[in-house]
Amino acid sequence: GAQIIDLMMLVIDVTKGMQTQSAECLVIGQIACQKMVVVLNKIDLLPEGKRQSAIEKMTKKMQKTLENTKFCGCPIVAVAAKPGGPEAPESENPLGVSELIEVLKSQAYLPSRDPSGHFLMAVDHCFSIKGQGTVMTGTILSGSVSLGDNVEIPALKVTKKVKSMQMFHTPVTYAMQGDRVGICVTQFDPKLLERGLICTPESLHTIHAAIISLKKIQYFRGALQTKAKFHITVGHETVMGRVMFFSPAPADFSEEIQENVFDFEKDYLYQEEYLSKDSNSSEENKENDQAGEVQLPRQQWALLEFEKPVTCPKLCLVIGSKLDTDIHANTCRLAFHGVLLQGMEDKNYVETFLPKLKVYKLKHKEGQVERVMDDYSVIGRSLFKKETNIQIFVGLKVKLSTGEDGIIDGGFGQSGKFKIRIP
């Protein structure tokens, strides 16, 4: 739902400040929204004599919280939407609401919309009207729709014709990206669809796994570990999924980011966890790096394997969370976000699709130097079995205990011995 928000209003209890759910809303806003207004609510609960100073103090605290976000400098408005609480008489006038309305009007803008591409709509309500049919209401995420068009409910594999449409109680014949619309179809039970997606027929696909590019959410305290399970929010669904993280080969760490494509021709390095400055893998790299600097890739990816299939568009937003964490633990439950680059529709994707994904693991093997041949080469042993095809290791680097670096030059004899060239 956050993907359809053009202007975000973050409501904060002025007596409590930023709480876990408020912080998570801010994180989602940073991912999916461009503009925000902060509302400090319940100012009627502050003692009148200290009210203004308390509001100013909380305003400064919020400004400090937002200074390193895209919402730095956004408007902050203090209100009491219902002075005295729900039991107070209706004669009590709201405080600051008129000022809030003016701020919202000043922040309103006309977003850029594009009617091209496949029709996709997020449905948040579905109900029947006697004698008319079933109405699906929601917001159009992409494309456009007209009277008489066929639309698909992909979760049910059902296609229906648009009988009529309304926008804010007004009949219309056309709607496009960003419009809030009710679409009426016939012979469809509204109980089958409470929330979900409708689209141009066959434009969405149901997938069992996906490759995503991702970034860790900086406020998430835990490590992102391969084989861990997360709540994956994608399309209009949240399902459990297992993750495997991988990165470019170390030589390609500094390559330019490719935002909306995935290259199956490249080799990728398996990671036990997402690499960040404070991850265990990065600490190991730091210890091995004489300069003591952590080298991190500019882009990282994950393979997501869903516990049940999901229906979603390509290049959609993906959010990974630990929603089973105690909400009162004062810790961010949102772990990572990214873009879905490649979905896997075949339920046998492990056999049919994953072999295309070239992810390798680094292995450490030790052998011995048997003898020195000349100033630039030595013979090694005990690194390979005699039946090993040494040719596949030719060109790989080795390090001698005396400090020299070498390169495997080829086999030597038939017993698994090999030749090392020292440049």
Q: Answer with the one of 46, 72, 107 that is the final residue of a domain.
A: 107
pLDDT digits 0-9 by tens, 365-420: 889 999 999 989 999 999 988 888 888 889 888 999 988 999 999 999 889 999 99
Mean pLDDT over all residues of the chain? Answer: 90
Domain with residue 324: its CATH number is: 2.40.30.10
Rounded Cα distance between 40 and 17, Å, is 8
In percent, the amount of the chain with pLDDT more than 70 equals 95
Tell me whether residue 115 is in a domain: no
Q: What is the mean pLDDT of residues 116-138?
A: 94
Residue 236 has pLDDT above 90, yes or no: no
Domain with residue 78: its CATH number is: 3.40.50.300
Parallel/antiparallel/unpaired status of strands 120-129 and 133-142: antiparallel
Q: What is the mean pLDDT of residues 136-152?
A: 96
Q: What domain range is 373 assigned to?
A: 368-421
Tell me whether residue 53 is in a domain: yes
Rounded Cα distance between 420 and 405, Å, is 10
Q: Which residue has the tokens 């490759």?
A: 211
In percent, the amount of the chain with pLDDT more than 90 equals 70
pLDDT at 281: 59
Asked if 222 and 301 sit in the same domain, the reply is yes
pTM value? 0.80
pLDDT at 365: 85
Asked if 193 and 51 sit in the same domain, the reply is no
Q: What is the mean pLDDT of residues 40-46?
A: 94
Tell me whether residue 14 is in a domain: yes
Q: Answer with the one of 183, 203, 223 that is the final residue of a domain.
A: 203
pLDDT at 155: 87
Tell me whether residue 222 is in a domain: yes
Q: What is the mean pLDDT of residues 55-63?
A: 96
Q: How far apart are the first and last CA of the chain?
A: 59
Neighbouring CB atoms inside 10 A of 221's CB total: 11
Residue 280 has pLDDT above 70, yes or no: no
Residue 82 has pLDDT above 90, yes or no: no
Chain centroid to Cα 41, Å, comes to 30
Q: What is the mean pLDDT of residues 272-301?
A: 70
Asked if 218 and 302 sit in the same domain, the reply is yes
Asked if 199 and 238 sit in the same domain, the reply is no
Asked if 266 and 311 sit in the same domain, the reply is yes
Asked if 222 and 347 sit in the same domain, the reply is yes
pLDDT at 294: 66
- Residue pair 232/208 in contact by the 8 Å Cβ criterion: no
pLDDT at 252: 83
Q: How many structural domains is the chain composed of?
A: 4
pLDDT at 320: 97
Tell me whether residue 59 is in a domain: yes
pLDDT at 3: 60
Neighbouring CB atoms inside 10 A of 134's CB total: 21
Tell me whether residue 114 is in a domain: no
User: Residue 61's pLDDT band (boundaries 50, 70, 90)?
Assistant: very high
Asked if 219 and 338 sit in the same domain, the reply is yes
Asked if 216 and 268 sit in the same domain, the reply is yes
Tell me whether residue 19 is in a domain: yes
Q: Answer with the one of 180, 203, 226 that is the final residue of a domain.
A: 203
Residue 89 has pLDDT above 80, yes or no: no
Q: What is the mean pLDDT of residues 171-191?
A: 96
Phi, psi of 121 (to 5 degrees): -135, 135
Asked if 88 and 143 sit in the same domain, the reply is no
Rounded Cα distance between 76 and 223, Å, is 34
For 7-35, b/e burial (b = at least 16 CB within 10 A) is ebbbebebeeebebebbbbbbbbbbbbeb
- Residue pair 395/420 in contact by the 8 Å Cβ criterion: no
User: Residue 293's pLDDT band (boundaries 50, 70, 90)?
Assistant: low
Asked if 225 and 303 sit in the same domain, the reply is yes
Asked if 348 and 397 sit in the same domain, the reply is no
Tell me whether residue 341 is in a domain: yes
Residue 92 has pLDDT above 90, yes or no: no
Asked if 148 and 94 sit in the same domain, the reply is no
